[in-house]
Structure 1
Amino acid sequence: MSRGSVTVRAARWSATHPWRAIGLWLILVAVAVGLSVMVPKQTTKAADTWVGQSGQAAELIQQAGLDGKPSETVLVTDPDGPLNRTEATTALTQLKQKLTALDSVAGVGEPVWAENGKAALLPIELKGSADDAADNVEKLVAATADVQQNNQGLSIQQTGGASLDAGIWKQVGSDLAKAEKLSLPITFALMLLVFGALIAAGIPVLLAFSAVGAALGFYAPLSYLFPDGGSVANVVLLIGMAVGVDYSLFYLKREREERRRGHSTVDAVEIAAATSGHSVVVSGLAVIVSMAGLYVAQDPVFSSMATATIVVVAVAVLGSLTVLPALLAKLGHRVDRPRVPLVWRLNRRIGPGGISRRLVAPVLRFPKVALLLSAVAVVALAVPALGLKTDPGGLNTLPDSIPEVKTMQQLQANFPSEGMAYDVVAKADGKAPVEALATLQREAVASKQFVVPPGQAVRTAGDTAVLTLVSVLPDTSEDAKVALNQLRDTLVPQAFDTMPGATWAVGGETASGVDYGANQRDKLPYVIAFVLGLTLLMMLFTFRSPAIAIVTTLLNLASVAVCFGALSLVFQHTWAEGLLDFTSPGFVISWIPLFLFVILIGLSMDYHVFVLGRIREAVQDGLAPAEAVRRGITESAGVVTSAAAVMVSVFALFATLGMIEMKQMGVGLAVAVLVDATLVRIVMLPAILVLLGRKAWWPNKLPVATAEPERELVAV
């Protein structure tokens, strides 16, 4: 990499004008924080996620003005046994008085008593749209809580679309706060072990955290184009801490290494910029290209994740190339102060690449055996991925720690008509097809697989009509597909046999979940082709070697296969339930594989580029291929292992959170990165490069191979 490159010029200016660089960075972060305060973040609307036949149904209902009013339900039960009707009537009367007085409530229905005598429900109709209900639901929850205080002998709980969403977001916020609270000290402790000095350990953590904060601020105005689907903050923290620490780690390690060789601080910074700085730029671009693959899915949730991740990676790269050199230049040798005596002495005794030198030696001596054994291990870990099942999440995948979830489960257990609902909407020329829907209602009820909610009739407006049917099956993803297929493939087509000109669609919230999962599976091949194609071209452009590009792609796919294998082993079986505190749904949430594929390709490229960069340096220095691999792996393995340790620790934190989506994300990423940074990059990669020899770098012109020169490291 030329000393006149952009990365070197940026580092030189920052190192010679440290206070300006630091001041500009602080201004950047302050502006971002100001944006997050001043610009309200936009979130996705229900219509943004309409896909498939359920999306068509929702659009037809909206066009006809047949949208159902948002509703909530208060469930009254007796935790000690059968419900005392007198006590329950008193509580229900109090509830009706309090709720009717609220401005956001359009009406409160009459109590409905369960046939088993164990529960009663109070239906509530809200004013406005579903978005209005989300804004006002806390008032209803507070009113329900007041009545609960006055009736201690009963269990009075509220549930419904708005309150359930509020409970989920409360859980997500709690999870995010927990991850933030633990990620910083754990990451700092790992950096302390890596550097043995407080300042050196604190710099990567500080820069990564500031990059996360700045990215969230810059995303706020971008949310008007890419509204937040609900996971932006989690993903920015997850990826931002990982790449932010890694980029600083790559740069800082190289700068310290060059100072030990006797270079001045500014010279060491320039060399680090020409080498590690270049790797940081390529790694950052690789992550950005990978995340851009999420746009191919044409899903607003994925688009918001992609946008936010691209922002945090760009900010992290910018910080590594500007403010980090400024800090290193200003601190000089003081970056290694104050030292932690025991850790510092241990690091000095081991020496640079001491452990990795011993690990890679047998790989270089017996590359065929090492490649065969590592490939067998990777295949064994990846085989379970062949049985990977994906389904959309539902009530059964939400944690029981959310009170509204438990209330909904009790509601459906006592009132079958409150289960999985499907909206059958039909439109015909001239008049609404009421008779066909009435026929459908009779046939569906006669099948004993569906019931009609009490008081519900076919709703009509102009030439459109809607019928709501509720499945008697349990609220699980598999049962949801069974009921939906029965409607779409059998019952509805039979009812409309005599009306060939009618347009119909089966939708509703349950159908939307099924269609959404199917849409993600359909888009996965296109995302894979996009990401693999662009990353292959990027590696080809960066290293000018077809062999390196192909090997990179194959190793990335190996890491992804291991990730999917781990997900199948952990979450489709019950053996890990107690360990990770979850109930196995028997499948992986449908959007997780697509998202993890994109993330893993980007993160794998993160340190893969760094390792290959060190090997290429050695090749360009005139070393024989085997010696170049030995030196490159030895000098980079410590950094790669440290970077992987940070990623694994941050990802593992997500495996401890309440939402199963976060658990699956954390387990998949942690296992994949651990295997990728050890088995794949320190065993398989060097073995392949040794076996390929000089062919690995064709058509690059390599200098004549010489013996490796002595590279004395001067003590600081």
Structure 2
Amino acid sequence: MPTETRRTEGLLARLARFCYGRRRLVLLTWIVGVVAVSILGFGYGAAPDNDFSGGDSESAKTQELIEKHFPEQQGDTLTLAIKAEKGIDDPVTRLKIEKVLADLAASPITGPVTSPYQDKVLVTQDRRFARVTIPLSDKEVEKSEVKPLVDAVKDASDDSVTVALGGYMAEKAETPPQGSAESVGILAAAVILFIAFGSLVAMGLPLVTALLAIVAGLALTKLLGHLFPAPDFTLVFGAMIGLGVGVDYALFIVTRYKDSLRDGDEPESATIKAIDTAGRAVLFAGTTVVIALLGLFVMGQRLMTGVAVATSITVLVTMIAAVTLLPAFLGFTGYKINSLRLPRRASRRNQEVSAPSQERHTLAERWAAVVQRKPLVAALLAGGILLVLAAPTLSMRLSQPDASVQPHDRSSYISYKILSEGFGPGYGAPLVFATEVGSKDADLRPVVEAVSKTEGVAYATPPRVSADGQAVTFTAFPTTGYQDEATANLVHELRDDVLPRTTGGEQVLVGGPNAATIDVAEESGSRLPLMIGVVIAMSMLLMIALVRSVTIALQSAVMNVLSIGAAYGVVVAVVQWGWFGPALGFPTAMPVTTWVPMMMFPVLFGLSMDYQVFLISRIREEYQRTGDTRVAVARGLARTAKVITAAAAIMIAVFTTSLLGPDVAVKQGGLGMAVAVLIDATIVRMIFVPAVMELCGKANWWMPGRRAPKATPTPTPPAAVREEARV
């Protein structure tokens, strides 16, 4: 290429030329970098942090007070639940129970075990149910150490007595790893790519690029965990999002590369053109996703900040891989991009070569024409469908999963059922009360009595004074369970009415795991609109910078919010209302997990903007070529329909595979994102976009202080393909 032409190249074009020409160096750098980061990240990365408490909530203040004055109450515990059909005093039953107790006491990870035969408080009046709290040792106990205890206790059950271990560590110990879900997602992506490209080589490039980027991104996530702690679901979500966007970004670039080869370009110039066009859209789209994810900072929650940083890093690495590693791979493949292709596609390819370029997507163009003939009807129909799907969102309740929503064959669920049957459904939702006092003689009995008489409280324990005489605590058990809305209402009644009336000037705080869940859910719900506003505003600014149109940026924001709202509604209907829940892997109806809506919105808004960027970029190119909005929309839709459909199918497949995993919260997120992508790729892209753009006409390109882009008609290049490109 002449020197003058090279000087006029943009930064992306020069980067593509460098990566193509120095492909061995680029590939070696990537391999060495990924290996080094993986060794550091997976070897020395931070452990996950699942403590969502903290902040200024009342439950957080309660926890701080208890940690300060009741240090002996700290540490994880297990709960042994016992149900004996003939009563625990039956001689044969007693031998079995005492054998289980002895085995638990002998474990090196447990502390002293109090037998229910020694403390009548641990046994129901009919002597059929009993409970034992088992403290874990002071050292950091791994779930792999708890799993043998869970299995041994479960195996000790028979027809006469049922025993099961519950508690946070027991629940974690028996939750299987994500397993083959990611592998299934990769396989599904490979199949879709093979169908889209019809070539093993073209299929492999996006997959290899995405996988290398994901490994590096997840390793960096582990390292950054030392600065920004994140919960254990972060890696699963990071892998899903990274795989989805990584494959999609590479798919867009490879598609543009193949188009350039088909139009007669050399491999090097085709690579440069692909990076300079599709690569530019990838950077804008990826930046939108990153900005949307960083909107989680607005939530003001320590762990969600960690999630934002971790997932943003993964997306950022996939972007870099798409514009550096992929050009290097294209340098190695050259004209062989179509090698190892499906035999049945050869005749179809020859037909495409001999047919005019504009006839290759007749179905999409005809569909666009149908929508454009009745744009108002189409827009109203699409909007109506989205609003109907979004309607359940109005009844959304937020909470955290507990033992009651786990699969029914797990020990933690069996323990929950036994304790609920014997001690009431509120046993698993204790409310912890605490207050600082002036002396050991402080009398909190009137408060305990008032709490005990409150409707919805089953019973309360006597008050206990701390060893330093500066604090008092007691526990109350509701008549309703952890996930019941009535329990949340009870917490508010106690805080807002009962305690202020009873305590006078003393401040009695209400905390405990259940109250903490309620506080986090309400704080998240109150901050969610702010995060949504920030994400929309930042993404619109980026969209305006790309397409130079306020109108299209507004259209994109409104459509994306509607599609995400529809996804929220489907999640509520399936998860909270129980529609098709068991068929999709949800054991029972449950509230939506607190972090799921927070995580879904920025991810989905960013991904929706991805498809909008690729579609609008092509429409804008066609408008500049023809000056006709109707023709531009039809041709832009036709040129992008196949690749957006393939990209959406990959996203849907990757997100849907989360339903194969064990974590009900991750399943909720995966379901919601799969539904949102499906809606976005069908109702929004195929109906809403062409209808609304047809209605707006030239107003689509409105920008303050600027005229609509002028058309510069250019003839469409013939579909010439080199003989080598057919190999």
Residue of structure 2 equivalent to 1:525: 529
Q: Is the 8 A contact 2:482 2:514 kept in 1?
A: no
Q: Which residue pairs with 1:206 in the alignment?
A: 208
Residue matched to 2:27: 22
Q: Which range moved further: 345-354 or 659-668?
A: 345-354
CA distance in 2, matches of 1:595, 1:119: 41
Counterpart of 2:92 in structure 1: which amino acid? Answer: E
Q: Which residue of 1 aligns with 2:167?
A: 160
**Residues 226, 307 of structure 1: 8 Å contact kept:** yes
What CA distance in whole angstroms lies between the structure 1 residues aligned with 2:144 and 2:642?
Answer: 51
Distance, in Å, in 1 between the alignment partners of 2:512 and 2:536 is: 36
Q: Give the 5 Å matches for 1:385-396.
A: 385-396=393-404
2:632 and 2:476 mapped to 1: Cα distance?
68
Task: Give the corresponding residue for 2:694.
Answer: 690
Q: In structure 2, do the counterparts of structure 1 residues 454 and 384 end up closer, same or farther at CA, with 3 Å as the change threshold?
A: closer
Counterpart position of 2:474: 467
* Alignment deviations for residues 370-419 of structure 1 (CA, whole Å, 9 cap, x no partner): 33332333333333333434344333333324322221221232234843
1:261-340 to 2 correspondence within 5 Å?
A: 261-340=263-342
Q: Deviations over 1:640-695 (max 9, x none)?
A: 11111111111222234443322322222122111111221232222322333333
- Cα shift at 1:81: 6.1
Aligned to 1:356: 364
TM-score by length of 1: 0.91
Q: Which residue of structure 2 lines up, in the alignment, with residue 377 of structure 1?
A: 385
Match in the other structure for 1:58: 63
Conserved 8 A contact 1:109-1:123: yes
1:553 aligns with 2:557: yes
Match of 1:427 in 2: 436
Distance 1:55 1:149, change over 3 A: closer
Percent of pairs with identical residues: 25
Instruction: State the distance in 1 between where 2:417 and 2:133 align.
Output: 16
Query: Residues 455 and 372 from structure 1, CA distance in 2 versus in 1: closer, same or farther, beyond 3 angstroms?
Result: closer
Of the three residues 135, 142, 154, the one matched with 1:125 is 135
CA contact (8 A) 1:426 1:432 kept: no
The separation in 1 between residues aligned to 2:658 and 2:257, in whole angstroms, is: 32
Q: Is 1:599 matched with 2:606?
A: no
8 Å CA contact 2:213–2:321 kept in 1: the answer is: yes
Q: Deviations over 1:289-319 (max 9, x none)?
A: 0000011112133222211211111111111
Q: Report SS of the residue matched to 1:43.
A: coil
Hey, what's the Cα distance between the residues in 1 that align with 2:349 and 2:396?
42
Corresponding residue number in structure 1 for 2:566: 562
Matched, 1:585 2:582: no
For residues 109-188 of structure 1, what are the structure 2 equivalents within 5 Å? 109-111=114-116, 112-128=122-138, 132=139, 134-135=141-142, 139=145, 142-143=148-149, 145-146=151-152, 154-167=161-174, 170-171=175-176, 173=177, 176-188=178-190
Please list the CA deviations of residues 505-557 of structure 1 after superposition, one character each: whole Å capped at 9, or x if unmatched.
10011111111100110110110111011011111222222112211211111
Q: Please name the residue that 1:653 is paired with.
A: 657
Separation (CA, whole Å) in 2 of partners of 1:37 and 1:591: 25
- Asked whether the equivalents of residues 547 and 696 of structure 1 are also in contact (C-alpha less than 8 Å), the reply is yes
Corresponding residue of 1:485? 492
The code of the aligned residue for 2:125 comes to E
Structure-1 separation of matches of 2:303 and 2:67: 22
Question: Cα gap change, 1:344/1:166 in structure 2, threshold over 3 Å: closer, same or farther?
Answer: farther
Greater alpha carbon shift after TM alignment, 546-555 vs 390-399:
390-399
Tell me the residue number matched to 2:410.
402
1:637 and 2:641 aligned = yes
Picking from 72, 76, 91, the partner of 2:78 is 72
What is the rounded CA distance, in whole Å, between the counterparts of 1:511 and 1:708 in structure 2?
A: 66
Question: Does the C-alpha gap of structure 1 residues 669 and 427 become closer, same or farther in structure 2, counting only changes over 3 Å?
Answer: same
2:476 counterpart letter in structure 1: L
State how far apart, in whole Å, the 1-side matches of 2:102 and 2:323 are.
63
Residue 164 of structure 1: SS of its match in structure 2?
helix
Using the TM superposition, give the Cα deviation of residue 594 of structure 1 relative to its aligned residue in structure 2, in angstroms.
Answer: 2.2
Instruction: Name whichever of 556-565 and 373-382 sits farther off.
Output: 373-382
Distance 2:589 2:677 in 1: 25
1:64-89 CA-partner distances (Å, limit 9, x unpaired): 244514332223334x7655622233
Q: 2:579 aligns with which of 572, 575, 578?
A: 575
Structure 1 equivalent of residue 119 of structure 2: none
Deviation sequence 1:180-199 (CA, Å, 0-9, x none):
12111111000011000111
Distance 1:621 1:251 in 2: 22
Partner SS, residue 570 of structure 2: helix
Partners of 1:348 and 1:479 lie apart in 2 by 67
What amino acid is aligned across from residue 466 of structure 1 in structure 2?
T
Task: Report 1:39-50 matches (<5 A).
Answer: 39-44=44-49, 46=51, 49-50=54-55
Can you list the C-alpha shifts for 1:569-615, whole angstroms capped at 9, x where unaligned?
32333331343132443642232222211111110011211111112
Which residue is 2:420 aligned to? 412
The answer on whether the counterparts of 1:399 and 1:660 sit within 8 Å (CA) in structure 2 is no
Question: How far apart in 2 are the matches of 1:544 and 1:519?
Answer: 37
Query: Match for 2:429: what amino acid?
Result: M
Q: Match of 1:405, as an amino acid?
A: Y
Match of 2:503 in 1: 496
Contact 1:44 1:300 in 2 (8 A): no
The answer to whether the 8 Å contact 1:195/1:344 transfers is no
Does structure 2 conserve the Cα–Cα contact (< 8 Å) formed by 1:126 and 1:133? Answer: no
Moved more, 307-316 or 277-286: 307-316
Distance in 2 between the 1:119 and 1:686 partners?
Answer: 64
Superposed CA deviations along residues 446-500 of structure 1, whole A, max 9, x for unmatched, are 4574355778745453322111222232333313213322322333223302xx1
From 443, 447, 457, the equivalent of 2:450 is: 443
Counterparts of 1:349 and 1:248 in 2: how far apart (Å)? Answer: 26
1:146-172, Cα deviation, whole Å (9 max, x unpaired): 5766776643322223223333xx34x
1:91 corresponding residue in structure 2 = 96
Rounded to whole Å, the distance in 2 between the matches of 1:294 and 1:592 is 12
Q: Secondary structure at the match of 1:107?
A: coil
Q: Which shifted more, 655-664 or 237-246?
A: 655-664
2:164–2:415 Cα contact (<8 Å) kept: yes
Structure-1 separation of matches of 2:577 and 2:264: 56
- What is the CA distance between 1:61 and its match in structure 2? 1.6
Does the aligned pair in 2 maintain the 1:91–1:147 contact within 8 Å? no
Tell me, yes or no, if structure 1 residue 6 matches structure 2 residue 11: yes
Instruction: Give the equivalent residue in structure 1 for 2:519.
Output: 515
CA distance in structure 1 between the partners assigned to 2:544 and 2:144 by the alignment = 55
Counterpart CA distance in 1 for 2:417 and 2:12 is: 57
**Contact 1:105-1:124 within 8 A present in 2 as well:** yes
CA distance in structure 1 between the partners assigned to 2:150 and 2:339 by the alignment = 58
Aligned to 2:355: none
In structure 1, stretches of 5+ residues that fail to align are: none
Deviates more, 1:285-294 or 1:354-363: 354-363
- Does 2:716 correspond to 1:713? no
Residue 346 of structure 1: CA displacement?
Answer: 4.9
> For residues 238 and 141 of structure 1, what CA distance do their matches in structure 2 show?
27
3-state SS of the aligned residue for 2:474?
A: strand
Indicate if the aligned counterparts of 1:196 and 1:344 stay in contact, CA closer than 8 A. no
Output the CA distance in 2 between the equivalents of 1:143 and 1:270.
Answer: 60
Paired AA for residue 237 in structure 2: V
Partner SS, residue 74 of structure 1: strand
Once residues 145 and 566 of structure 1 are traced to their aligned partners in structure 2, the CA distance between those partners, rounded to angstroms, is 36
Structure 2: how far apart are the matches of 1:149 and 1:594?
40
How does the TM-score come out when normalised to structure 2?
0.90
